[in-house]
Amino acid sequence: MNDIHYLLDENVDVLYHAQLLAREPTMVTWMVGTPGAPPKGTRDPAILLWCEQNSFILVTNNRHSMPAHLQDHLAQGHHVPGIFIMNAKMSVGETIEELLLIWGASDEKEYHDRISFLPVSS
């Protein structure tokens, strides 16, 4: 079983969650606002703490404030398994393929404490 787990932020369309699980039912992929995940409206710093405590890589389309939140998070001595920032120029299918590729071919520590912009495979 793969150790990479994804948390999709609340502004990511639920279609991504459904498509990931349809393609790979064993994948651990949660969304903000679903049972067990942070509730909708949770602020970004608290999301990063939750990802750290639960070993989830955050998948978000928040490219504007997330870099500053990560910098503050790391400056406080915290860590994150990683953050993937979605690319608006990628189709849903391309994004799903990219996340599946990362999930299937990456080590869980590969994206530790950093932001990666999709696609990472290019």
SS3 per-residue string spanning 49-105: HHHHHHCCEEEECCCCCHHHHHHHHHHCCCCCCCEEECCCCCCHHHHHHHHHHHHHH
Confidence tier at 122 by pLDDT (50, 70, 90): low
CB 33 within 8 A of CB 10: yes
The pLDDT assigned to 108 comes to: 84
The pLDDT assigned to 29 comes to: 97
pTM recorded for the entire structure: 0.95
- 42/100 Cα distance (integer angstroms): 26
Q: What is the pLDDT of residues 38-51, one digit of tens each?
A: 999 999 999 999 99
As its CATH architecture, domain 5-117 has: 3-Layer(aba) Sandwich (3.40)
Tokens 């932020």 correspond to 9
